[in-house]
């Protein structure tokens, strides 16, 4: 049900929808987290939203299965320093699949 909510919120422009999606991105179910990240990728995020996504990594709540989706979402914000900080943190926390590690290293160059 929570994954369906995350998918449905993709179409909402309400500020409360973004907050709910950020909450769902921290869900303990990887399917819910993935749906929330996909929906967040379809909407603009401010620095507070990007920072909230960074907490997924710092708090160890990002599922390995959703790491690529998070990186793809964050690459939409090249003007912000926050994605680079998150990428560096992901590398530091490791271990990562070799493809993801290479992608992060390239993004940090």
Q: What DSSP letter does each residue of 56-101 carry, written as one string?
A: HHHTT---GGGHHHHHHHHTT-TT-SHHHHHHHHHHHH----HHHH
Q: How far apart are CA 26 and CA 30, in angstroms?
A: 9
Tens-digit pLDDT profile for residues 89-98:
999 998 999 9
Tell me the per-residue pLDDT of 65-98, one tens digit each, with 9 for 90 and over: 999 999 999 999 999 999 999 999 999 998 999 9
Q: Express each pLDDT in 14-49 by its tens digit.
A: 888 999 999 999 999 999 999 999 999 999 999 999
- Name the residue among 103, 63, 97 with its Cα closest to residue 83: 103
Distance of CA 40 to the CA centre of its chain: 8
């Amino acid at each position: 049900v929570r994954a369906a909510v995350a998918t449905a919120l993709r179409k909402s422009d309400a500020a409360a929808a973004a907050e709910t999606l950020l909450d769902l991105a921290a869900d303990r179910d990887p399917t819910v987290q993935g749906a929330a990240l996909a929906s967040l990728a379809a909407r603009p995020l401010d620095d507070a939203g990007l920072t909230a996504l960074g907490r997924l990594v710092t708090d160890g709540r990002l599922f390995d299965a959703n790491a690529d989706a998070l990186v793809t979402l964050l690459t939409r914000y090249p003007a912000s320093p926050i994605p680079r900080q998150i990428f560096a943190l992901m590398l530091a926390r490791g271990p990562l699949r070799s493809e993801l590690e290479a992608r992060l290293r390239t993004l940090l160059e």
